[in-house]
Copies of this chain bind each other. A is one copy, B any other.
Amino acid sequence: MNLLQNRIVQIASLSEESNKKFLAAWQTWTVTKDFFVLKENEVSNYLYFIEKGIARIFYYKNGKEITEWIAMDNSFFLSIISFFERKPSYLQIHTIEPALIRGIHYNDLMKLCDEHHEIERWLRKALTGSLILSQYRMDSIQFETAQQRYEKLLETNPSIIQRVPLSYIASFLGITQETLSRIRSSL
């Protein structure tokens, strides 16, 4: 059972040849907790996939740490702007659990996209999915109360509460940890 393979074909099926070449381009890292997958001001060279563990994508805004995304459970993650625009990342990525991470280098992905129309299509579909997610998230941030956002998170991802510190979850939801603590105690 190859978890990455499964998720890849969920986005778009590939011919045997493309699939083989695509998979072969991914490397694997087994890392400890608190490992920095991406440091500030580095150009992000990889599109990542997390097979096991949790990675947190965060940045500093007015001296405060903002958690932009929490990646777990066989999902892709990346620093979109740095990866695609090839510029230093204001985002950082670090693990908050020991993790098994896979990654494909920008150059390899671009080469595969050039050589295999199917892989280009795969990436196009993956980006379409991200964009749709991003729309829903924007709507949620703009029009739902903190409590609604928290309850939704609990529904879609109950294990996150056990595995991720409150302060990160609060920041990801766009509220302070004090507010999240109060929401919790009121439920």
Contact = CB atoms under 8 A, between A and B. Distances in A.
Interface of A: 61, 66, 80-81, 84-85, 113, 117, 120-121, 123-124, 127-128, 130-132, 134-135, 137-139, 141-143, 174
A58 to B, nearest CB: 12
A134 B138 contact: yes
Contacts of A131: 80, 127, 130-131, 134
Given A120-B120, A127-B124, A127-B127, A141 B141 contact: yes
Nearest to A61: B143
B143 A141 contact: no
Contacts of A132: 80-81, 84-85
